[in-house]
Amino acid sequence: MPAAIGPSSPWDAVPDLLRARGMRWTPQRRTLIEVLAGIGGHLTGAELVERCRAADPTTTPSTVYRTLDVLEELGFIRHGHGADGREEFHVLPRTAHGHLHCGTCGSSWELGASEVGGLVRALRRGRGFHVDLSHVTIVGQCESCASAESRP
Amino acid sequence: MPAAIGPSSPWDAVPDLLRARGMRWTPQRRTLIEVLAGIGGHLTGAELVERCRAADPTTTPSTVYRTLDVLEELGFIRHGHGADGREEFHVLPRTAHGHLHCGTCGSSWELGASEVGGLVRALRRGRGFHVDLSHVTIVGQCESCASAESRP
DNA sequence: GTCGGTATTGCGACGCCTTGCAACAACAGC
DNA sequence: GCTGTTGTTGCAAGGCGTCGCAATACCGAC
Ligand SMILES: [Mn+2]
Ligand SMILES: [Mn+2]
Ligand SMILES: [Zn+2]
Ligand SMILES: [Zn+2]
C-alpha cells in the first residue's frame, strides 16, 4: 500500500533544489520554509525572524537573512524596500510587481506590470537597462492623504 | 565704504528661513551646511556624517540626521535609497529626478522627468497618487552587465 | 545686557541587517 | 554505518539610522 500523497506545494522542491546545487537542507532552513509556507503576501525581514523564533526559539537572525538570500536566488521570494529602506519580502509572487507606498499614511498597493510596462520598455530600449520590477517601490502621497492636506 | 559683497549662495538664506519658522541657527547646522555647500551631487548619510566630523570632530550622527531632515523640509536637499536601502542625499537638485541603479556593478544614473513622466501621470490620473520622483530608485541590470552575463 | 521659554543637542540604547570566523553537521562516497 | 569534505550555523562586532530624555544654548522680549 503506497503512502498517502499529501497536497503538493512548491516548497516541497526546495530540499532537492538545494542539494542539486551542492547546498544543504538544514533544520534552520526547514523552519523558515514552514513559516513562509504558512503565510502569503508581504513581510519585513524582522517579522520573518520573529515568526521563525516563535517556531524555534533558537533561531538566529543572521541565519534567517542568509536563507532568505538563498530562497531569493532560487526564485521563491523577492524583496523590495519600504519607504524607510527596510526590506520587505514577497512570498511566491504570482507575477512580478512593484509597490506603491504612501509616505504619509503608510498604506501600500501593488503596482502591476501593466502600469510600469511603459517605463520598463522605455528603459530597455533607450538604455539597455533591465528593470527588476519586484524591487521597485514608488513612494509619494495617496489620493486620500493628498486631498486631506489640500483641504484642511 | 560698504562691506564687500561676496558671491551669494542659496544656503545664505537658511538662518533666516529657520528663524522665521521658530527654529534656531546653531553651530552644528552651520557645519553641515558648510559641508553641503562645498560639494554637489549625491552622498550617503554616513559620508555626510564623516565630512562633518572632519570639519568638527565633536559632530554627532543623530544631530546630522536630524538637520538633514530639516533641510529636506526646506527643500535644500532630497533623499532616496540605494539598492541596499541606505539613504542617499541629493544636494540642491536643479530639477526633480529619480535614480537608476545597476545591482550588478553598482553604477548609477539620473532618471529624468521625461523618462518617468508617463508613469507619474498615469498614477496621478488612475489612482490620484502623487509620486515623489526624487525618492524613486529603479534597480536592475545595466546594459554592459547584462551583455556580459548573456555572453560569458 | 539679562532673562526665560523652548528648540536643539549629545548620549545611550535600540532596531535592522551584514560580515568574519571558528565550531558544527549534512551528505556523498566508500 | 563510518568518515571526510565543505557548506552552514551561531556568535560577536560593526555599520546605518532612529528615538527618548536630560542638559544646553539660541534668541526674542524686556
Ligand atoms: Mn525614504
Ligand atoms: Mn535591495
Ligand atoms: Zn496615504
Ligand atoms: Zn552594471
At B94 the pLDDT is: 85
Selection from A118, A124, A99, A121 nearest residue A110 by Cα: A99
- Of A69, A91, A113, the residue at which a domain comes to its end is A91
pLDDT band at A94 (very low <50, low <70, confident <90, very high): confident
Class of residue B62 by CB neighbours under 10 A (exposed 0-12, middle 13-18, buried 19+): exposed
The answer to whether residue A8 scores a pLDDT higher than 90 is: no
Q: Which residue, among A49, A18, A24, A23, has the nearest Cα to A35 in the 3D structure?
A: A49
Secondary structure of residue A20 in the 3-state scheme: helix
Same domain, A28 and A83: yes
- Say which CATH number the domain at B57 has: 1.10.10.10
- Minimum CA–C1' distance nucleotide for A22: D7
State the nearest residue by CA to the C1' of C7.
Answer: B23
Look at residue A3 and tell me if it is in a domain.
no
Q: Is the pLDDT of residue A151 over 70?
A: no
Residues 86-145 of chain B whose Cβ lies under 8 A from any Cβ of chain A: 86-87, 100, 102-103, 109, 115-116, 118-119, 122-123, 126-132, 135-136, 138-143
Mean pLDDT in residue range B16-23? 98
Say which range, A60-69, A91-100, B26-35, B133-142, has the weakest mean pLDDT.
A91-100
Boundary of a domain, candidates B41, B58, B91: B91
Q: What confidence score (pLDDT) does residue A41 get?
A: 85
Interval A16-69: pLDDT, tens: 999 999 999 999 999 999 999 999 888 999 999 999 999 999 999 999 999 999
Does residue B26 sit in the same domain as residue B72? yes
Over residues A101-121, the pLDDT tens digits come to: 998 888 889 999 899 999 999
Is B128 close to A142, i.e. CB distance below 8 A?
A: yes
Report how far ligand 2's centroid is from the alpha carbon of A33 (Å).
Answer: 21
Nearest residue to nucleotide D26 when comparing alpha carbons to its C1'?
Answer: B24
Residue B5 confidence class, pLDDT cut points 50, 70, 90: low
pLDDT band, very low/low/confident/very high, at A133 (cuts 50, 70, 90): very high
* Confidence category of residue B151, pLDDT binned at 50, 70, 90: low
Q: What percent of chain A has pLDDT over 70?
A: 93
Question: Bridge partners of A137?
Answer: A99
In angstroms, the separation between the Cα of residue B107 and the nearest Cα of chain A is 12
Do the domain assignments include residue A5?
no
CA dihedral B24, B30, B33, B38 (to 10 degrees): 160
Taking the C-alpha atoms of residue B23 and residue B17, their distance in angstroms, rounded to an integer, is 8
Residue A7 has pLDDT above 80, yes or no: no
Residues with Cβ–ion distance below 5 A, ligand 1:
A 83
Q: Round to a whole number and report the distance in Å from the CA of B64 to the C1' of C11.
A: 14
For B63, the domain range is 10-91
| Residue A130 included in any domain | yes
Place of cell 554637489: B40
Percent of chain A with pLDDT over 90: 76
Beta-sheet strands, E only, within chain A: 42-44, 77-81, 87-91, 98-102, 108-111, 130-131, 137-141
In whole angstroms, what is the distance from residue B78 CA to residue A114 CA?
29
pLDDT given for residue A5 in this prediction = 63
Q: Which pLDDT band holds residue A139 (cuts at 50, 70, 90)? A: very high
**In chain B, which among 2-61 make CB contacts under 8 A with chain A?**
none
Domains in chain B, number? 2
* Residues B20 and B85 occupy one common structural domain: yes
Query: Are residues A86 and B81, on separate chains, in Cβ contact within 8 Å?
Result: no
**Contact criterion met (CB below 8 Å) for A110 and A42:** no
Contacts of B92 (CB under 8 A, 6+ apart): B10, B40, B76, B77
Measured CA to CA, the distance from residue B32 to residue B41 in angstroms comes to 15
Instruction: Give the mean pLDDT of A129-150.
Output: 91
Residues B76 and B24 in one domain: yes
Nearest CB among A85, A123, A138 relative to B136 is that of A138
Shared domain for A80 and A105, answered yes or no, is no
Give the distance (Å) from ligand 4 centre to CA of residue A75: 21
Lowest mean pLDDT among A19-28, B95-104, B116-125: B95-104
Mean pLDDT, to the nearest integer, of B8-28?
96
Residues B76 and B125 in one domain: no
Of the residues A43, A72, A91, the one at which a domain ends: A91
pTM of the model: 0.89
A120 & A136 share domain: yes
Q: Is residue B65 part of a domain?
A: yes
